[in-house]
Amino acid sequence: MEAAGVGEVRPPAPKGRRERLELFTARIPFWVKLTLVWICIFIVLGALFAAARFDTDLMKEKFSFIARGLTWTVIVSAMAIVLASVLALLGALGRLSRNSIAFGVTGFYTSFFRGTPLIVQMFLIYLGLPQIGAGLGGPWLEILSFDALTAGVLALGLNYGAYMTEIFRAGIVSVGHGQAEAADAIGMTYRQKMRRIVLPQALRVIIPPTGNEFIAMMKDSALVSFLGTVVARMEIFRRAQLVGRETFQNLEPLIVAALIYWGLTTVFQYFQGRLEKRMSKGYVRGAATPAAKPAMLPGPAGGVGGGAMMTAVEALEAGAGPGLEETEAGTEAAIHEHEEEP
């Protein structure tokens, strides 16, 4: 009947089906269309799964077993991102230093760890270092032998630290030279200048790409499973593989694993978005001063970078239990929140 109403107002020129359709869909709000698109995608996927005789009972049964790997995925990623951030900061300061030792060592570090595959680095640390330890003799064999998870954390941290060195370097450079001069002029030491003036401003530039690196790392933590771990410490992907081998059904556990990774990264992105908003204080002319602060980030307000990251991790761990439905609902909600912004 809406089409009829339009027909009366407009000139009675004959309209093609296509044009009528265009006019009709133009009135539907964007978010409604978006929801429909998402529903269609899930219907198509559902149909495909049905065709593969999807065993939802197996998924339900094995969900909690696989989801328990979330703890280790999060622990490995969180420890590795802390290591990577520390290395990236030192690396960036080294690359910006005029000290030949600092510049040379960090140059070698970034070149090697960016130039070789992550999986090779993992095996080098897990299998190669003990060999060096054995050659050195004495206590070295003990010192250079790591269990699979530790080796995984070291490799992920070293590898991502090398990439993030460039992010940190660019962030520090983005803080104008004048700011460093202003800090020098009031008599700050190098450390004070970095800690109080340069790094807080650099963080604004560093955080968004670092969030991306963290998301990539949460996924790359699956590589640790190739080193082999005891059942109690298996992360998500290894557990999914194990279920697949045991039941000869691979699709279901892998889908469960993929959904858990997806939920994890989406929740993290949501918190990253909030953190970025908070960091823009002092850079947005319209933003009100102190009064608006509490509204922007409720919950435990920690130090700038690490605090919000830990908030995200805590939320993930809390949300790991309830079940797939809840995780998915959270995913959808977060997606809508993002899509509505533009």
List residues binding another protein (CB under 8 A). Answer: 178-179, 181-182, 184-189, 192, 196-197, 200-201, 204, 281-285, 289-290
Q: What residues contact 302, with CB distance under 8 A and at least 6 apart?
A: 308, 310, 311
Residue closer to another protein (CB basis): 118 or 188: 188
Nearer to another protein, 27 or 177 (CB): 177
Residue 298 half-sphere exposure toward CB, CA atoms < 13 A: 1
CB 159 within 8 A of CB 118: yes
Among candidate residues 232, 116, 89, the one with its CA nearest the CA of residue 172: 89
Distance between alpha carbon 338 and the CA centroid of its chain, in Å? 15
Instruction: Copy the structure tokens of residue 156.
Output: 């992920």
Q: How far is the CB of 93 from another protein (least distance, A)?
A: 17
Question: Least distance in Å: CB of 303 to another protein?
Answer: 14
CB 306, min distance to another protein, A: 17
- Rounded least distance, CB 341 to another protein, Å: 22
Record the tokens describing residue 265, joined without a space: 């990264």
Count how many residues are written for the chain: 342
Q: How far is the CB of 285 from another protein (least distance, A)?
A: 5
Name the one residue in this structure whose structure tokens are 């889908």: 255
Q: How many CB atoms lie within 10 A of CB 318?
A: 9
In the complex, minimum distance from the CB of residue 192 to another protein, in angstroms, rounded to a whole number? 5
Q: Look up tokens 């959808």; give the residue.
A: 332
Q: What does the alpha-carbon distance between residue 317 and residue 337 come to, in Å, rounded to a whole number?
A: 22
Cβ proximity to another protein: between 104 and 282 the closer is 282
Looking at the Cβ atoms of 18 and 285, the one nearer to another protein is 285
Is 134 or 287 the residue whose CB approaches another protein more closely? 287
Smallest separation (angstroms) from another protein to the CB of 107: 23
Minimum CB distance to another protein smaller for 97 or for 192: 192
Of 75 and 304, CB closest to another protein = 304
SS3 55: coil
Contact assessment for residue 338 and residue 38, using Cβ atoms and an 8 Å cutoff: no
Find the farthest-apart pair of alpha carbons in the chain and give their distance in angstroms, rounded: 95
H/E stretch holding 166? helix 148-174
Minimum distance from residue 176 beta carbon to another protein (Å): 8
Beta-carbon contacts of 13 under 8 Å, excluding residues fewer than 6 positions away, are: none
